[in-house]
Chain A
Amino acid sequence: MTQQGVRWTAEQVLALAPDAASRKAGSKLGAAGPWSEAGSSDEGTVWGLCKGSGSKPYQTVIDIADAAGPAYKCSCPSRKFPCKHALGLLLLWADGEGAVPPAQAPDWAEQWIKGRRQRAEEKRTAGASGSSSASGDPEAARRRAERRAARVTAGATELEQRLADLLRGGLAGAEQAGYGMWEETAARMVDAQAPGLAARVRELGAIPASGPGWPVRLLEECALLHLLDQGWLRREGLPDALSDTVRSRVGLPASADGPPVRDRWLVLAQYDTADVKLTTRRIWLYGADSGRTALLLSYGAAGRAPELALPVGLVLEAEVAAFPGAGQLRASLGEQFAPPAPTSIRPPGVTTAEATARYGQALRDDPWLDSVPVTLDRVVPTPDGDSWQLADADADTALPLTPAARARPGLWRLVSLSGGGPVKVFGECGHRGFTPLTAWPQGEGEAVRLC
């Protein structure tokens, strides 16, 4: 593939920024002023010298063609990743050939790229030759897994007891008990090495303060948590796929051991959610040939952006391998064969009725699913009292937006894009409603990020 002419848009570059401050600092550096000797090569390398406050300019290199998303190297002392210099250089590059012309990479950039490619190659051959060396003694691994399973079982049993106690005394008491009770239980689940259970318990703690209708939501979530506990405790009797789903819901580690699927993967959406300890990035992909939808998850320490970043609306030729479990869409990105390129591919869409039916079907494989990824075709964003819905252009049905989606600025981009007419919208459809993530105008036009 010769994709060197394909430059990203400023928005795609800014999506890589780890935080708002970097975005701002990066945009300021996205002008020719401080840069010199900048250039880009056919192999997807971008480099430049940025004048900082010191006497020696910073050397910045970016490998945009890397299989695992863009990689950065900068001689500045910043611990942000990518640093503002890398962002500024990418912005400049996105701007066109004026400031970052095609050229031969200088030695310092070339060396780094070579080193990287070499290491990646070694890793691949090493991975192919034998993965057993990494995990060590299989017998020891089995014993470790058994010990962990035993601890999770103890945790699940304790959690069952706590849930029973809660229901015996009544959920009304949970409102007074406050958050502390849940925090403590969550900590117990962390001790039991069941992070999935811990996360669910923590979410329970937030429900009593979440507004009208909380008893219903609390009962629902308690019941599903109970279901998960029971699933774990009786996993021996479950079909394999469902058993894998339970394991992953409980929070046991798994690896993407499904067969790698090579496809032209359209990047549908990328968004981050953050809690105190962790930033989680979700990237939705759509396989143009296989018709599959896949979810890439990546993590960063609190306040830092996860490393993997893919520009929404572009397509990349790559291999993707699925994680185990029934109804699980999670996958991991394998080898990339070409850098992300613009495309006119759009995912096929369905009606709102088909979207809810799809969620219902997905619950058969994974009853703990909050939502499924769906592309709606020909829907009109419609105000509905204080709320909004996506109404079918050709039927009298509509999906309400989730409360969270209503508060996001992306809502207004969606409304403006639609102008009262039908648009195509990708998002997550679940029991709380629909969360729009990306939209396409009715006529020609690029994908518009809503998250």
Chain B
Amino acid sequence: MNSPSVPADSPAPDAWEELVTAALLGTDRRTPPGGAPGRQAPVTLLDTAAVATVRRRAGLKPARAAQRPQPAPEDPRPVLPPAAARRLAMLLADRPGAGGGRRGTAPDLMELLPQWLATANDRGFAPPPETLPALLDAARGRTDLRPAALTFAGPRAVWLARLNPDWRFALRATPGGGAALPQLDDPAEVRQLWQEGLFAERVGLLSAIRAREPAAARELLTTTWPTERAEDRLMFLDSLRTGLGPQDEPFLEQALADRSRNVRATAAELLSALPGSALAARMAIRAGACVALDHTRDAPTISVEAPHECDAAMERDGVVAKAPAGRGERSWWFGQLVEAAPLGTWSGRLGGRTPGEIVALPVTDDWQGELHAAWCRAAVRQRDGAWARALLGSPSAPEAGGPGAVSLAERAKLLGKLGSAERAEWVAGFIATHGLSEAFQLLGVCAVPWSGPLGRAVVDALNIARDAGSYPWSFSGVMGLAERCLDPSEASRLDGLLAIPDEPEDASPGAGGYWAEAFQRLVTTLRLRAAMIEELDTVSPSGGAPSGGV
């Protein structure tokens, strides 16, 4: 409405209504109140309306206050130092625009936001409240930002999200953020939400409890398990991955008989990740029957006899009988058996050898690829560092660079099972031997910032690529990673690369200039990251206190 407030004491609201009616219909059809019909009628109407309008406006009074919102919960964290707050505003202002184009030497600020958030969270700062809308908008557009952004945003963001449907994701993502469920200690409340809540709320509740007390979550799930829908059972079962332990075995064993095939498969997968489970033992027997050491040859060799059938018991234990198109079913079954068998059993089966020795053994009849790939999957699933190390092999081995038995994606997963220092060292060795063309995925699993040797390996490889005369955008992925992951203290080592080099004859035209530009961007970004972190480490003299309202 035009006048949302109430006019003071309008002497005759009816008179105004009549004026509006007369104006709407026209004075030829309706005589306005207090005026004579005819030539002067419109002017009289306008005169009266002008007085009435000014009178109505001058008499406006405030409206009645609506129910005020609940105050946002206090955020006990200290507010950001001023320099860091300005930096945040700048990072958030640099929203990715539609027009991409060449990047030039300027850093990609939006890409630095994840790191900034991680550091700010690590230091335990609270955001200035007025930045929350921009922060939530950024997190809305980029799901990968959400966990860190919401942690940083803190309780006020959840409060805010309840008022704006655009930010509902913040309620979903925060356990207990949506409804009134924060009291995980209250069994009655938990039970009620579990029985009456929406699916997303229930998943949130289950994950929250599972993270605190795994057994309690399983028991809660057991109470309603038979009545859940198949898709929901699958999701709930999936949330048991967190804190998976031997106590879960009876429940999972029971789920092996589930009506839904997907639920059965997930239960079997979870059980096989428990090396002590009965399912793992059954799989060990089945897999062991297929693999044997053949001493009749010159050197000990692994021989493989794939299963001839997939019986009901195997299917019950999660083996999928039907092979995907293009795969032989026997090798399909074999792969699943080895994948689910505990890796610890192989040493005994194969003459007490270590994982490294086992992987080095030759395998008969082209079974090596199938067998090693299955071991890789098992090492990832069972989080076995020793096997992961053995399967990765030496990074400088010639076959490590090619597609080989172990795909890059699997290698990246295997690397994830190693310690961060070992991981970085392996990838550094890999890059030193094989260059950058296959390294992107592997670099992605390395801890940030990159360790010294890894960073140097990457920079050296980039330098080699430049000297080889290719364009920098062939390496834009690695370059982007380097901007975000290289230790900022490496910046000074890069100074030598900023100049435009003389162009060798066989080089791509202009490449030198583009490389200098790319390295400039790299250095600029590194300096910016160093500044960012420094700003978050300075404790401001006045801003050190918590920001609580006085």
Which A residues contact B (CB, under 8 angstroms)?
9-11, 14, 23-24, 27-34, 51, 91, 94-96, 98, 160, 163-173, 212-213, 215-220, 222-224, 226-227, 352-353, 355-356, 359-361, 363-364, 367, 380-385, 387, 389, 391-392, 395-400, 409, 412-413, 415-417, 419-421, 430-433, 441-443, 445, 448
- Taking a contact as CB atoms under 8 Å apart, the answer to whether A389 and B71 are in contact is no
Partner of A353, one of B58, B61, B86: B61
List 14 interface pairs A-B (beta carbons < 8 Å), by A numbering: A31-B524, A33-B106, A164-B43, A168-B26, A217-B2, A223-B53, A227-B54, A356-B60, A363-B54, A382-B65, A385-B66, A412-B164, A432-B3, A442-B549
- Taking a contact as CB atoms under 8 Å apart, the answer to whether B2 and A220 are in contact is yes
- Taking a contact as CB atoms under 8 Å apart, the answer to whether B527 and A96 are in contact is no
A52 CB, nearest partner CB in chain B, Å = 10
Residues 128-152 of chain B, each 1 if its beta carbon lies under 8 Å from chain A, else 0 = 1110110000000000000000000
Q: How many angstroms between the C-alpha atoms of A380 and B164 in the bound complex?
A: 17
- Taking a contact as CB atoms under 8 Å apart, the answer to whether B58 and A364 are in contact is yes
Besides A164-B43, A397-B65, A400-B5, 10 other CB < 8 A contacts? A31-B106, A33-B106, A33-B521, A160-B43, A168-B41, A173-B26, A356-B61, A361-B58, A392-B62, A433-B4
- Taking a contact as CB atoms under 8 Å apart, the answer to whether A420 and B71 are in contact is yes
3 shortest A-B CB distances, which residue pairs? A170-B26, A33-B524, A419-B72
Q: How many angstroms between the C-alpha atoms of A397 and B63 in the bound complex?
A: 6
Residues of B within 8 A of A10 (CB): 86, 89-90, 93
Residues of A within 8 A of B349 (CB): none
- Taking a contact as CB atoms under 8 Å apart, the answer to whether B66 and A215 are in contact is no
Residues 369-406 of chain B, each 1 if its beta carbon lies under 8 Å from chain A, else 0 = 00000000000000000000000000000000000000
Look across to chain A and name the residue whose beta carbon is closest to the beta carbon of B103: A28
Interface-centre pick from A95, A98, A170, A224 (highest chain B CB count, 10 A): A170
Partner of B68, one of A98, A168, A220, A380: A380
- Taking a contact as CB atoms under 8 Å apart, the answer to whether A448 and B130 are in contact is yes
Partner of A419, one of B24, B53, B63, B156: B156
Q: A163-B42, A164-B42, A433-B4 are in contact. Are A391 and B27 (CB under 8 A)?
A: no
Residues 68-91 of chain B, each 1 if its beta carbon lies under 8 Å from chain A, else 0 = 111110000000000100100110
Q: A34-B106, A400-B63 are in contact. Are A24 and B160 (CB under 8 A)?
A: no
- Taking a contact as CB atoms under 8 Å apart, the answer to whether B25 and A172 are in contact is yes
- Taking a contact as CB atoms under 8 Å apart, the answer to whether A91 and B90 are in contact is yes
Residues of B within 8 A of A173 (CB): 26
Residues of B within 8 A of A34 (CB): 105-106, 520
B-side interface size class? 35 or more
Residues of B within 8 A of A9 (CB): 86, 89
Partner of B20, one of A27, A94, A216: A216
A343 CB, nearest partner CB in chain B, Å = 15
Q: A359-B57, A400-B63 are in contact. Are A167 and B45 (CB under 8 A)?
A: yes
Q: Does any Cβ of A come within 8 Å of B254's Cβ?
A: no
- Taking a contact as CB atoms under 8 Å apart, the answer to whether A420 and B159 are in contact is yes
Partner of B28, one of A33, A168, A222, A432: A168
Q: Does any Cβ of A come within 8 Å of B244's Cβ?
A: no
Residues of B within 8 A of A163 (CB): 42, 46
Q: A226-B50, A417-B129, A442-B550 are in contact. Are A360 and B25 (CB under 8 A)?
A: no
Q: How many angstroms between the C-alpha atoms of A445 and B127 in the bound complex?
A: 13
A364 CB, nearest partner CB in chain B, Å = 7
Q: How many angstroms between the C-alpha atoms of A353 and B65 in the bound complex?
A: 12
Q: A10-B90, A420-B69, A420-B159 are in contact. Are A413 and B130 (CB under 8 A)?
A: yes
- Taking a contact as CB atoms under 8 Å apart, the answer to whether A167 and B26 are in contact is yes
Q: Does any Cβ of A come within 8 Å of B528's Cβ?
A: yes
- Taking a contact as CB atoms under 8 Å apart, the answer to whether A171 and B5 are in contact is no
Residues of B within 8 A of A165 (CB): 42
- Taking a contact as CB atoms under 8 Å apart, the answer to whether A415 and B50 are in contact is no
Partner of A421, one of B42, B164, B549: B549
- Taking a contact as CB atoms under 8 Å apart, the answer to whether B90 and A27 are in contact is yes
Look across to chain A and name the residue whose beta carbon is closest to the beta carbon of B108: A28
- Taking a contact as CB atoms under 8 Å apart, the answer to whether A420 and B63 are in contact is no
Q: How many angstroms between the C-alpha atoms of A27 and B5 in the bound complex?
A: 43
Q: How many angstroms between the C-alpha atoms of A150 and B386 in the bound complex?
A: 98
- Taking a contact as CB atoms under 8 Å apart, the answer to whether B2 and A213 are in contact is yes
Q: Does any Cβ of A come within 8 Å of B180's Cβ?
A: no
A203 CB, nearest partner CB in chain B, Å = 13
Residues of B within 8 A of A417 (CB): 129-130
Q: How many angstroms between the C-alpha atoms of A76 and B18 in the bound complex?
A: 64
- Taking a contact as CB atoms under 8 Å apart, the answer to whether A398 and B90 are in contact is no
Residues of B within 8 A of A443 (CB): 547, 549-550
Partner of A392, one of B65, B90, B104, B528: B65
Q: How many angstroms between the C-alpha atoms of A367 and B59 in the bound complex?
A: 12
Q: A220-B2, A360-B57, A400-B63 are in contact. Are A32 and B93 (CB under 8 A)?
A: no
Residues of A within 8 A of B130 (CB): 413, 416-417, 448
- Taking a contact as CB atoms under 8 Å apart, the answer to whether B42 and A167 are in contact is yes
Q: How many angstroms between the C-alpha atoms of A169 and B58 in the bound complex?
A: 29
- Taking a contact as CB atoms under 8 Å apart, the answer to whether A420 and B68 are in contact is yes
Q: How many angstroms between the C-alpha atoms of A419 and B73 in the bound complex?
A: 8
Q: Does any Cβ of A come within 8 Å of B97's Cβ?
A: yes
Q: Does any Cβ of A come within 8 Å of B29's Cβ?
A: yes
